[in-house]
Structure 1
Amino acid sequence: MKQNILKTLKFVSFFALGIFIFWMVYKDQDFNRIKSILTNDVNYFWIVVSLLLGLLSHVSRTIRWNLLIEPLGRKPRLMNTFLAVMVGYLMNLALPRMGEISRCGVIARYEKISFTKLVGTVVTERLIDVLMLLILLVIVVLTQFGQVLEFLNNNPEVNEKLQKVIYSPVLIGGLLLFFAVLWLSRHKIRESSLMKRVMGFVGQFVEGFRSIGKMKRKGSFIFHSVFIWVLYYLMMYLIFFSFGFTSNLGPLAGLTVFVLGSFGMVAPVQGGIGAWHFMVIEGLALYGVDRVDGKVFALLAHGTSTVMLIVLGLIGVLVLPFVNEREEVLENSH
């Protein structure tokens, strides 16, 4: 009972946070104008292509996960793994990080594989994804730093606010106090349950890397790890061609907006709602896109991909029992 209450509170609080950020971003918008742009000024061909690439990225993620599961001594059916991944995405829209647990539960149930070991493979997946995102961030910083400086020079009010935050006595004092408390409490922290959990998490990461070493098809794993993120990027960049105000922006601008949006997805809110929109709007502003136009872009890009995940996730929930019931009948007939 208590656990159910905590889950409900988590869902409500995360959802409320996402809605609040979304409201703050869009509260002053003329929705009639947004409706007019979406009806008359969007080339939906590129939206469709973007969604097809998104679907391909999910297939690639499915194949990569199967490669991670194979060293456990089992090879799940591709259909089961794909549908489990889709159910996972659907659950993430309900409660952040619930999707990882859900898809492991699906495979554990239908493929009779250890749930705990499956969680280890997902931890490995997430570690690789973090590394890929950090690599892309480094590329953006190295190639687009001048663009950021130009933006700050052209927007002195933003530069002034940023400097006030960085040199704020409150921030500096707070950081000094924080590090002082850490230093004085270092022995207690080392023995705390939180630190033990952190070290256990680190241990899972190490175990995850070891599982990669046991793979027979390492090249295929590396290919799909890169391919997934290339598709994610193209999924975002192609939408640039749907709007007149972004169609002139180059691939590096697309990469910058994509990386910023990816960090928005890391926020503990369902489907990155609000946080993703804010980061993408600010990323587009770096390249001179009016924030009003950026809000339309973010609304359509996020909305279409979310609808696709909901549809595929619901299909997964509905189809999984029938697919596996049929497989059991066929196995019993033999």
Structure 2
Amino acid sequence: MNPKILKTLKFLAFLALGILLFWLVYKDQDVDRLKSILKNDVNYWWVLLSLFLGLLSHISRTMRWNLMIEPLGKKPHTLNTFLAVMVGYLMNLVFPRMGEISRCGVLARYEKMSFTQLIGTVVVERIIDVIMLLLLTLLVVVGQFGQVIQFLDNNPEVNKQLNQLTHSPWSVAVVGLVIVLMAFFWKRMMRTAALGKIRNVLKNFAAGLKSLLHMKQKWEFIFHSVFIWLMYYLMLYVIFLAFDFTSHLPAIAGLTAFVLGSYGMVAPVQGGIGAWHFMVVQALLVYGIDKSDGMVFALVAHTSMTAMMILLGLISLLILPFINRTEV
């Protein structure tokens, strides 16, 4: 099949899944009530503050990525790195997980860097992000154990899938099979005529992974890693203050909604549409927030975040060629 047609079909499939999930969440929503709340009952100053905090997180991610790149012997322009990050966010809204590849491609082009080395640094980034999310998950489970149990009780299908995943012998078998296949193909690959090229790619990739070990500003890296996720959390929590029905909730409730929403973002749909809304609505339910109110909250929070990423991503695409016109 033509690669372009295949990409188009994948895009349409992911988009259709996201729209279906979104429709399932909002199909019973009272449209007139929704319009009334959006017009009269939202303090949009808090929404603007949320977007500002989100922008700070993107700037911090830019600075952290530059710290990881410096041990590779390169020092890219901060503006180019920031614009590449924003293009990556935009691409994630087109194809899930495409953003990491896109931002590496952008920076490799405009800063004349190795694409595979940049991919290595992004892999390290993602590992750090997963660790941060797991730490926050542990904090929520320990601090809000009752609410987590209630969430699982309200969503038995999630509870069932978790039990199946952790207790099924198939999970162990699949992991074992993957390891065996990787070992087999690795040996086959090492015997091919393209061994030199493969080694070069792996060497560049490993260099990106090792960049963290040779980083001089390790404490600065740790600061940005914490700051990024703090801003992510506050970006959602301040929107609690934009509504009368959520403004009384404690900070830990915002953390619970944030963590569950983050897992919704893992779903293979553009921008977590539908899945993120569902997880946040369900999180708010355990704190006594009516489902219809929770859906309004999720709609405002997700739409504002997504709109900012689209706007900044498009601006970044437009200005990148102009600010680098003398170098490409």
User: Which TM-score band (shorter chain)?
Assistant: 0.7 to 0.9
Structure 1 residues 149 and 47: CA distance shift in structure 2, 3 A? same
Structure 1 residues 224 and 165: CA distance shift in structure 2, 3 A? closer
Quote the offset at 1:175 in angstroms. Answer: 3.2
Q: Of residues 152, 168, 171 in structure 2, which corresponds to 1:175? A: 168
SS at match of 2:106: helix
Amino acid in the other structure paired with 1:45: W
Distance 1:214 1:267 in 2: 34
Structure 1 residues 128 and 28: CA distance shift in structure 2, 3 A? same
Distance 1:252 1:167 in 2: 24
Kept after mapping to 2: 8 A contact 1:124/1:205: no
Kept after mapping to 2: 8 A contact 1:95/1:270: yes
SS at match of 1:117: helix
Kept after mapping to 2: 8 A contact 1:127/1:205: no
Distance 1:196 1:245 in 2: 61
Deviation readout 1:69-102 (Å, 9 max, x if unpaired): 1111110000100011111111111111111111
| TM-score of the aligned structures, taking structure 1 as reference length | 0.85
Distance 1:125 1:3 in 2: 29
Does residue 222 (structure 1) correspond to residue 215 (structure 2)? The answer is no
Alignment of 1:21-100 (within 5 A): 21-100=21-100
Kept after mapping to 2: 8 A contact 1:11/1:95: yes
| Residue of structure 1 in register with 2:252 after alignment | 252
What are the ranges of 5 or more consecutive residues in structure 1 without an aligned counterpart? 198-202, 330-334
Quote the offset at 1:147 in angstroms. Answer: 2.8
Amino acid in the other structure paired with 1:217: Q
Quote the offset at 1:306 in angstroms. Answer: 0.5
What are the ranges of 5 or more consecutive residues in structure 2 without an aligned counterpart? 190-202
| Residue of structure 1 in register with 2:263 after alignment | 263
Deviation readout 1:125-175 (Å, 9 max, x if unpaired): 1111000000000000000002344677xx7xx48x56994899xx69x93
Runs of 4+ in structure 1 off by over 2 angstroms are 146-152, 161-168, 178-197, 203-210
Kept after mapping to 1: 8 A contact 2:117/2:204: no
Kept after mapping to 2: 8 A contact 1:91/1:99: yes
Distance 2:131 2:204 in 1: 16
| Residue of structure 2 in register with 1:200 after alignment | none
Kept after mapping to 2: 8 A contact 1:89/1:309: yes
Distance 1:188 1:105 in 2: 32
**Root mean square deviation of aligned Cα:** 3.2
Structure 1 residues 61 and 195: CA distance shift in structure 2, 3 A? farther
Alignment of 1:296-311 (within 5 A): 296-311=296-311
| Residue of structure 2 in register with 1:124 after alignment | 124
User: Percent identical across equivalent pairs?
Assistant: 61
Structure 1 residues 181 and 99: CA distance shift in structure 2, 3 A? closer
SS at match of 2:93: helix
How many correspondences in the alignment? 316
Kept after mapping to 2: 8 A contact 1:87/1:314: yes
Distance 2:168 2:187 in 1: 21
| Residue of structure 2 in register with 1:280 after alignment | 280
Kept after mapping to 2: 8 A contact 1:120/1:208: yes
Deviation readout 1:279-298 (Å, 9 max, x if unpaired): 00001111010111000000
SS at match of 1:266: coil
Structure 1 residues 194 and 96: CA distance shift in structure 2, 3 A? farther
| Residue of structure 2 in register with 1:146 after alignment | 146
Higher helix share: 1
Distance 1:311 1:167 in 2: 37
Distance 1:279 1:311 in 2: 25
Distance 1:296 1:66 in 2: 38
Amino acid in the other structure paired with 1:9: L
Distance 2:286 2:204 in 1: 38
